[in-house]
Amino acid sequence: MKQTIIGAAIAAALAVGAVPSQAKELIYGSWMGANASTNAISLPHYFEKVKEATGGEIEWTLVPGGQLATGAGTVDAVAGNLIDAGTTMAPYTPRELPATNAIFTRTVAGDDVVGTAGAMNELILLNCPECKAEYERNDAVAFGAYNTTPYLLMCKPEVSTVADLSGTKVRASGGGVEIMKMAGATPVAMSPAEATSALERGVVDCVMGSLAWLRNYGYMDITEHVMEYPLGMAGPPLLMYMNRDVWNDLTPEQRKAHIDNAAELVAVGTITAQMDIDAEVKAAALEEGVIFHEGGADFADIMQQRVDQQEAAIIEMATSVGVDDVEGLLAKYSELLEKWADISGEVGTDVEKFTEALNREVYSKLDPEDL
């Protein structure tokens, strides 16, 4: 059934070159567009590294643009083996991934993108048995959590103060939902890709997300204002959310190749595909006439309210859907954020140094046979 549905997409993707006859062909279905930095930079780099490490035995084919599964449909598509792997965001499927969603819902203030990415990976892979259990329940394995840059507001109308948000509709997810409620806006749930037409049609006034989305999702031609006060980071977006049977069908060496290169996937996905792209996109947006607003104390107050109130709300929400010891999970997250803040200071924005740190602290301790 899977081959029937995706045959045309695979044929198009393979037009640039045939898969070697000895290769195991695996299909990655992404709901993000072909130009999204994860699809244009992170995943192709990773798939090539895996191919090299397996001597051409594993060949991943990336099918972008939601041709095979939506953001909300990726968990089911992976479980049903419609696709072999995809990008998964827990807030899109909170019932299926409640522990991961509890982590995702925690807003991390500030702009330590690298440190937060490190803490996310160490938390979900080494310190969250309930995360592993929920991936198992959904017939999946998961690794390779990248981090976005701090979320900003990209809007059609001018938004430069919290008061300007009163009565607006804002695409938001994770902890951003509560932040927008505190600011007087109405949060609207949808994927970044779905938000493009919604923003154009006036279904939403703003999108809360990373600046790179101006390019990744075509907001550049629609957005007139960016409020660039950092409104927190949330994650982990899971780049390698993979069907468990497909994973188990790989040889031990092939599984090891995926894990051995996962740290670099995270480093490239966080620094090259997020932080570096943000700088490029801001320069392009300014040339296009997009107006940037700094924000001020009113947004700082909203963020402080979120930080002060979020833990109790997350504990209540996650406990109500059966997640055990949410308080302990969040406490561990705080501990790891402090640990990785120090590591981040040493790493800076060096992809090689970040890869080394992730391997040392996380991926060298992860057994591919025990995912």
Q: Label residue 76 exposed, middle or buried (CB < 10 Å: 0-12, 13-18, 19+).
A: middle
For residue 229, what pLDDT is reported?
96
Residues of the chain falling short of pLDDT 50: 1, 3-6, 8, 10-20
Q: Return all residues near 139 (Cβ < 8 A) that are at least 6 apart.
A: 78, 79, 243, 244, 245
Write the DSSP symbol of residue 268.
I
Options 3.40.190.10, 3.40.190.170, 2.60.120.260, 1.10.3720.10; CATH for 2-147+235-281+310-370 is 3.40.190.170
- Determine how β-strand 24-29 pairs with β-strand 85-88: parallel
pLDDT of the residue at 8: 47
Give residue 175's pLDDT: 84
Domain ranges of the chain: 2-147+235-281+310-370, 152-232+283-309
Give φ, ψ of 344 to 5 degrees. Answer: -60, -35
pLDDT at 134: 98
Q: Which pLDDT score is estimated for 216?
A: 85
pLDDT of residue 291: 98
pLDDT tens-digit profile of 135-188?
999 999 999 999 999 999 999 999 999 999 999 999 998 889 999 999 999 999
pLDDT digits (tens, 9 = 90+) for 322-353: 999 999 999 999 999 999 999 999 999 999 99
Domains 2-147+235-281+310-370 and 152-232+283-309 share a fold: yes
Q: Looking at the domain that runs over 152-232+283-309, which CATH code has it been given? A: 3.40.190.170
